[in-house]
Amino acid sequence: MLELRAHQQLVVDKIEQGFADGHRCQLLYAPTGFGKTETAMSIMYKVAQNYTKCAMVMDRIVLVEQTSLRLGKYGIDHGVMQAGHWRYRPYERIQICSAQTLERRNKFPDIGLLIIDECHVQRKGTLEFIKSNPQMKVIGLTATPFTKGLGSTYTNIVGAAPTSELIDNGWLCPLRVFIAKEIDMTGAKKVAGEWSAGDVSERGKKITGDIVAEWVKKTHEVFGGPRKTIVFCSGVDHGKDLQKQFAESGYNFVSISYKEDDEFKRMTIEDFSRPDTNIHGLIATDILTRGFDVPDVTIGVSARPFSKSFSSHVQQMGRVMRPHPGKESGIWLDHSGNYLRFIDEWNEVFDEGVKELSEGGEVAKKEPTEKKKKESKCQKCGAFWIWPSDTCGECGNVRVRLSSVMSVPGMLEELHSNPAIKAENRSFWAQMISYSRARGYKDGWAAYKYKERYGTFPKGAAPTPEPPSPSTLSWIKSRHIAYVKSKAKAIA
């Protein structure tokens, strides 16, 4: 039986209220891994129970099959509108459709509700279908509502809990990001603000060896051996080149693209999804970006640079953040430069989610300077410096910046000769480490909070975690309240 989690039921209630308020077309924003498909299935089941016909439309055949299998798992009767599909049952009140089939059947009768998966991919035929059926209610689903023109269709956006909150509550896995050797896009051609496919593919092939070597190194450092991986390559040729070099290193990676038939892709993904698969990784340009759902994927390799497509960047990272038993975090190896390129936008979406639609759409981002790129990663392990700390949250490497020591008041407080003060400060650090790890944060977060309280970052090796005391918990709560008030004041 399909039962929604509390955060999923909350958005269902918001959608129902939106319809009651007179919004015919609503957009549900929720991060990848939130459970948008289960939420949509629950809505359709309720609608069907009221003897109203509804349909859910996907723009890829593999997603139609995937959704039908999920409905079958929950014992929900439905039909599939797709050429030659064995589950063609037009009499069922729930229909799963390919976009192409829906558009061909422009007079598909009696639909009371239409749900559009990945609605940021705005298909002309689907939009015309919405306009020609004004009596029909519409819900668009997306993790990336950044496409220009969405506001012309959807009059209400229902925002789910942001990524940070879902990680805190264990519904998503945190990412551990490593900045690796980057594909050089200097002087590359652009088409409509995005780097041309040809240039991206050719330049990607120049660092294929580095990509393979970095994956081998990191997967053994972190896990002691290979873990299920997806690689977002720069193009078809780049994907084949990666597959060849992974094989030469003794690993079974399979490249899939538009050049393979649908049955091969379906069977490959199905094989990869099995717990006992002998496929170490899948390689693709965009096939894995949307709708790919294999929760035990632990490593993502970003090797497809984007100049402006923040939505693709977010979608790709989301494929590695799905929770799975025994999976504490996902590893993200960034060879594309995308993580740093879109860091400001990502931080905002990560903490706040999306509450309104922007009519401007996505724009090309200014490239970070070489100085910023160098300062943004640990020179020892390559981890991204998530917090403004001089201690790497991954390997503990400490970077010393003499100019900071000379100019920032209180930087020498840690060297106070009073042992009682030193012990108290170190205990606070140990408590903050315990608190941060319990919530899936990195140790760098604890170091940052230490600085917030004492004016300087902690020195030396991290202490053994201690349970936070009531006074420490009270201090954390006070800092959170102060943060919320400052945000509210800034908005006002």
In this structure, CATH architecture of domain 6-161? 3-Layer(aba) Sandwich (3.40)
What's the chain's length in residues? 492
Distance CA 488, CA 492 (A): 6
- The larger pLDDT score, comparing residue 421 to residue 105, is at 105
Domain range summary for the chain, segments of one domain joined by +: 6-161, 170-375, 402-491
What is the phi/psi pair of residue 27, to 5°? -115, 125
**H or E segment to which residue 58 belongs:** strand 53-58
> Of 103-112, 139-148, 249-258, which gets the smallest average pLDDT?
103-112
SS3 of residue 144 by DSSP: coil
Tokens 């240039």 label which residue? 199
For residues 58, 64, 67 and 68, what is the CA-based torsion angle, rounded to 10 degrees?
140
In this structure, CATH architecture of domain 170-375? 3-Layer(aba) Sandwich (3.40)
**H or E segment to which residue 314 belongs:** helix 310-318
Supply the pLDDT for residue 406.
32
The first and second tokens of residue 410, run together, are 């209180």
Q: What is the pLDDT of residues 23-51, one digit of tens each?
A: 999 999 999 889 899 999 999 999 999 99
Q: What is the pLDDT of residues 176-221, one digit of tens each?
A: 999 999 999 999 999 888 999 889 999 999 999 999 999 999 999 9
The first and second tokens of residue 314, run together, are 């977010």
SS3 of residue 268 by DSSP: helix
Distance CA 487, CA 492 (A): 9
Supply the pLDDT for residue 424.
73
Q: What is the pLDDT of residues 263-307, one digit of tens each?
A: 898 899 999 999 999 999 999 988 888 778 899 999 999 999 999
Q: Which of 165, 138, 172 is nearest to 152 (CA)?
A: 138
Please give the distance of CA 121 from its chain centroid, rounded to a whole number: 17
For residues 218, 442, 394 and 282, what is the CA-based torsion angle, rounded to 10 degrees?
10
For residues 35, 39, 41 and 43, what is the CA-based torsion angle, rounded to 10 degrees?
-170
Residue 230 above 60 pLDDT? yes
Interstrand relation of 229-232 and 281-284 (parallel, antiparallel or unpaired): parallel
Q: Which of 159, 121, 188 is nearest to 28 (CA)?
A: 159
SS3 of residue 353 by DSSP: coil
Q: With contact defined as beta carbons under 8 Å apart, do 94 and 45 qualify?
A: yes
Identify any residues that bridge with 27 across adjacent strands, giving them in sequence order.
140, 157
Q: Which of 140, 3, 8, 6 is nearest to 75 (CA)?
A: 3
Distance CA 431, CA 424 (A): 11
Average pLDDT over residues 295-321: 94
Please give the distance of CA 33 from its chain centroid, rounded to a whole number: 8
Distance CA 66, CA 84 (A): 16
Please give the distance of CA 443 from its chain centroid, rounded to a whole number: 22
Q: What distances in angstroms separate CA 222 from CA 9, 78, 263, 344, 381, one per listed residue?
A: 37, 44, 35, 28, 11
Q: Which of 313, 331, 307, 344 is nearest to 143 (CA)?
A: 313
Residue 229 above 50 pLDDT? yes
Residue 415 above 60 pLDDT? no
Question: In the structure, what pLDDT confidence band is assigned to residue 461 with cuts at 50, 70 and 90?
Answer: confident
Q: Which of 327, 346, 293 is nearest to 440 (CA)?
A: 327
The first and second tokens of residue 135, run together, are 């009596």
Distance CA 132, CA 413 (A): 70
Residue 168 above 50 pLDDT? yes
Average pLDDT over residues 82-111: 83
Q: What is the pLDDT of residues 4-18, one digit of tens each?
A: 999 999 999 999 999
Interstrand relation of 253-255 and 330-334 (parallel, antiparallel or unpaired): unpaired
Average pLDDT over residues 165-179: 89
Q: Which of 183, 143, 176, 188 is nearest to 304 (CA)?
A: 183
Amino acid at 389: S
